[in-house]
Structure 1
Amino acid sequence: MSAPPRPDTSGPPPAPSAAIWSRLARLLPDSRAGRILALNALVSSTGSGLFLAGSIIYFTAVVGLSAVQVGVGLSVASAVGFATTVPLGRMADRFGARRMLVLLTGWRAVGYVAYLFATDFWQFLLVACLLYIADHGAPPINQALVGALFDGPQRTRTMGFVRAVRNAGLTVGFGLAGFALADGSTMVFRLLFLGNAASFVISCLLILLLPRVTPRRPDRGADEEPPPNRPPIRDPRYVTVTAGNGVLMLHSTVLLVVLPVWLSQHTTAPTWFLTVLLTVNTVLTVMTQVPVTRFADTLAKAGPASLVSGLLLLLACLLFAGTTAVESQLSVGLILAAAVVALTAGEVLHSAASWQVSFDLAPAEGQGRYLAFFHLGLSAEEIVGPAAALWLLSTTGAVSWLLLGAVFLAAGILVHRTVRAGESPG
């Protein structure tokens, strides 16, 4: 019997990097528009990381403002941004999300340069108020642009890419700023501000590469009247899910505000372990946000996903509270790590569900203003959440975790029931 023919190995062997690049390609959005949006998020968030890492030190050490003045100024600016978010969303419905996003992104580039010319509190306050109008208005309009460019599950998946790379970009920006801040000179601080402004200039150019889109309009018969132009505040379902989403957003306050205080003052864990926990959260978010979107890529899935996210956040709170029951640093560290994993799981699932809910419960004619209204829940949490959570922690100690967990669960149930009631029969 003759031997079977041997395979031809005369050709060049496949490059080892080919398989790696193939896998990396699968981690990117499928469409050109999706890749541009992801790159835009990476660039702008890297610049934001540069700014956030050094801004407070610059305003206090270089400009000479007190910490109280900076805090008051940013709080007033946040209130201004809160008040102008929905009007900007209404403008996006009228003039197009792409056009408005280019305007606001350019506005942000100019605003971050203007900070360098502020030499007293009132100048700082004026620049901050003008800048926060764009800072608060841009994210929902960016989401509206995603809604105009994509249909169905692809919208939530694209938002997942955007959030994942935004987390990665912030981490890169923080790292670059850390190296720069080691110098400590005024020029280095100014370069961080200019680097952030430059990132928004690049962002403008990237947005202009996206296709022109017009607001979506549902198909109607010639004699069919359009629905009334109802503002979102008069839509009970949308108000309810906006409030529930704002409460679920407390997970960011738990991670960035409550956890550092809890770890340093109420556990035996070393302070440096906080860096480990924050790194775990960032890495898991970047790795899992896109895959998790498949569990909430329809309205029928998004409701239960909101409930599950509330349960996961409840579990995280119970684990945080459990650190008071042990003394060993190793045991405390393991429980804290498990709590952060549960918190991150609830966070990424909640994010995916919130995108789908905010898209599907908003009318096609009003995506801009409805998504802007939905983001008010996030803004309200940023204004009220840190103070309320720290007050609760200072007055009730470990019991605060049980109360926070109950609030998370109640919010998950509320969103789930509201979404289920709002699902269309078809």
Structure 2
Amino acid sequence: MAEATGEGGPTRILPRGPGVVWFGASGFVNAFGTGFFYPFALLFFSELSGLSLSAVGVVLTVSALAALPGLPFVGRLIDRFGPRRVLVVAALARACCFVGFVSTRGVVLLVLFNIALALGNRAEQAAAPALAVGLAGEGQSGRWLALSRVVFNAGIGAGALVAGLLVVDSRSGFAVLGVANAVSFALTAVLYLKLSVREHPAKTPDAEEPGAAHSSPWRNTLFLRVAGANAVLWTATLIVETALPVFVLHELSLATWTVGALFAVNTALLALLQLPVSRFLERFRLGPVLAAGGCTFVVLYVTAATVGPAPHAVRLGALLLAMAVYTLGEMAVSQAGLVLLTALPPPSELGGYMAFNQLFVGVGAALAPLLAGTLLDRWPALLWWVLSAMSVLAVLLIPRLPRGASPQPGEISPA
């Protein structure tokens, strides 16, 4: 990725600054490993542990919730030692977890390794934005955060595609999957080490003084409202990923390949347009961008809820168009949400705030499969109206914010 050679050049939307290639590569490899594993997670744990799918689901939900109390400690580590070191440790810990999954047996060890894996995943999601902000030059944080989303989506999509082609549905095949995932996280740790970043990128001289005041995320009203809105919208996207394939196949009676077509549209648009769309959105206020993105989600929800009586071709066309609109909203939500969440905290406490945000995200991620499964099983059409209500709730939570194109960390006052 080259630095822009001029304001009119085709690379003007790319982040600038040293380390951008290593940052992008580390994010892609990290996401590739996740995407390689995620579609087969339930089968992986069931095959290697001998547990039923429902029992595995309980283990994963309990483990995800059990990891959340450790996030405040993770936040303090990010602020004290820097995001890069936390990312390296988190990547190596996740690699060890997959080695443990393949080489050990027993429900207790399965739960313990899954708690460690969940904590590592949350630590990565808290530290990665802080690392992007630390690496970014003046006025560049928005583009670095956008790049993190691009490589994440590309890595998830590529990993899932390769896994679908290579993973063998057998005990030995899933063991190979686990080893491959361990290798991907170990390689991610190596790539993070290639980055040259100040280990305390957000600290200021005043923040290091013994008498310096410290704020609390739960007392920062603006941050709480943005984090709440972001978590609600993030939970909705997870529910869509889980529920849409089932709804399309069982309720709308469309062909299996249509599921792949819908998510191919989503993945392709996210990979190709996230950076230019994020660059375009820099000229608008962040609060309205986040609200508008949440509103566009409703287009997909209403389409899914009402398109059933239409002919097959109309159903598919409407869903593809609605997915494209939804994806544009997803870009706006992810960009505005990340920029706001990194701009509202005091710079010296960015890691703590981002870890606190993961408490919201973690609860949503743990509850999303439960909500999706319950509604699909009993009231499938109601699911989309519940998701529409979630979008409305998120929009109501978003506060009015000062005008700013691309604020830097700590630039928006919580007052």
State yes or no: 1:68 paired with 2:51: no
In structure 1, the gaps of 5 or more residues are: 1-22
Deviation (angstroms), 1:78: 0.3
In structure 2, the gaps of 5 or more residues are: 1-8, 405-410
Summarize the Cα distance change of 1:120–1:357 in structure 2 as closer, same or farther, 3 Å threshold.
same
Map of 2:5 onto structure 1: none
CA distance in 1, matches of 2:374, 2:37: 29
State yes or no: 1:311 paired with 2:274: no
Map of 1:261 onto structure 2: 246
Indicate which of 118, 138, 151 corresponds to 1:165. Answer: 151
Deviation (angstroms), 1:417: 2.9
Summarize the Cα distance change of 1:61–1:407 in structure 2 as closer, same or farther, 3 Å threshold.
closer
Asked whether the equivalents of residues 50 and 196 of structure 1 are also in contact (C-alpha less than 8 Å), the reply is yes
Indicate which of 233, 237, 241 corresponds to 1:252. Answer: 237
Deviation (angstroms), 1:332: 0.5
Deviation (angstroms), 1:349: 0.6
CA distance in 2, matches of 1:73, 1:406: 29
Deviation (angstroms), 1:295: 4.4
Asked whether the equivalents of residues 292 and 352 of structure 1 are also in contact (C-alpha less than 8 Å), the reply is no
1:128-147 equivalent positions in 2, closer than 5 A: 128-147=114-133
Asked whether the equivalents of residues 81 and 137 of structure 1 are also in contact (C-alpha less than 8 Å), the reply is no
SS at match of 2:400: helix
Summarize the Cα distance change of 1:185–1:296 in structure 2 as closer, same or farther, 3 Å threshold.
same
Map of 2:343 onto structure 1: 360
State the Cα deviation string for residues 157-189 of structure 1 (Å, max 9, x = none). Answer: 11221221222222222222223224x454332
CA distance in 1, matches of 2:127, 2:231: 18
Summarize the Cα distance change of 1:220–1:128 in structure 2 as closer, same or farther, 3 Å threshold.
closer
Summarize the Cα distance change of 1:318–1:150 in structure 2 as closer, same or farther, 3 Å threshold.
same
Summarize the Cα distance change of 1:307–1:419 in structure 2 as closer, same or farther, 3 Å threshold.
farther
Map of 1:233 onto structure 2: 218
Asked whether the equivalents of residues 24 and 151 of structure 2 are also in contact (C-alpha less than 8 Å), the reply is yes
Indicate which of 323, 328, 331 corresponds to 2:307. Answer: 323
Amino acid at match of 1:349: A
State yes or no: 1:195 paired with 2:188: no
Deviation (angstroms), 1:49: 2.4
Asked whether the equivalents of residues 207 and 348 of structure 2 are also in contact (C-alpha less than 8 Å), the reply is no
Identify the range of structure 1 (77-86 vs 23-32) with the bigger mean alpha-carbon deviation.
23-32
Bigger Rg, structure 1 or 2? 1
Summarize the Cα distance change of 1:315–1:58 in structure 2 as closer, same or farther, 3 Å threshold.
closer
Map of 1:13 onto structure 2: none
Map of 1:210 onto structure 2: 195
Amino acid at match of 2:72: V
Asked whether the equivalents of residues 113 and 193 of structure 1 are also in contact (C-alpha less than 8 Å), the reply is yes
State yes or no: 1:342 paired with 2:332: no
Amino acid at match of 1:304: P
Identify the range of structure 1 (211-220 vs 194-203) with the bigger mean alpha-carbon deviation.
211-220
Deviation (angstroms), 1:219: 6.6
CA distance in 2, matches of 1:311, 1:188: 42
Asked whether the equivalents of residues 251 and 347 of structure 1 are also in contact (C-alpha less than 8 Å), the reply is no
Summarize the Cα distance change of 1:420–1:237 in structure 2 as closer, same or farther, 3 Å threshold.
farther
CA distance in 2, matches of 1:377, 1:273: 32
Deviation (angstroms), 1:25: 6.7
Asked whether the equivalents of residues 146 and 274 of structure 2 are also in contact (C-alpha less than 8 Å), the reply is yes
Indicate which of 94, 103, 116 corresponds to 1:108. Answer: 94
Name the count of aligned residue pairs: 400
Deviation (angstroms), 1:323: 0.7
Map of 2:408 onto structure 1: none
Asked whether the equivalents of residues 313 and 409 of structure 1 are also in contact (C-alpha less than 8 Å), the reply is no
Summarize the Cα distance change of 1:263–1:54 in structure 2 as closer, same or farther, 3 Å threshold.
closer
Map of 1:369 onto structure 2: 352
Indicate which of 271, 278, 286 corresponds to 1:293. Answer: 278
CA distance in 1, matches of 2:386, 2:54: 30
Deviation (angstroms), 1:394: 5.0
When normalised by structure 1's length, the TM-score is 0.85
Amino acid at match of 2:240: L
Summarize the Cα distance change of 1:47–1:220 in structure 2 as closer, same or farther, 3 Å threshold.
closer
Asked whether the equivalents of residues 217 and 364 of structure 1 are also in contact (C-alpha less than 8 Å), the reply is yes
CA distance in 2, matches of 1:391, 1:55: 20
Map of 1:127 onto structure 2: 113
Summarize the Cα distance change of 1:196–1:28 in structure 2 as closer, same or farther, 3 Å threshold.
farther
Asked whether the equivalents of residues 359 and 367 of structure 1 are also in contact (C-alpha less than 8 Å), the reply is yes
When normalised by structure 2's length, the TM-score is 0.87
Deviation (angstroms), 1:259: 1.0
CA distance in 1, matches of 2:93, 2:386: 41
CA distance in 2, matches of 1:101, 1:425: 28
Indicate which of 414, 420, 424 corresponds to 2:397. Answer: 414
Amino acid at match of 1:417: R
Asked whether the equivalents of residues 28 and 35 of structure 1 are also in contact (C-alpha less than 8 Å), the reply is no
Amino acid at match of 2:165: F
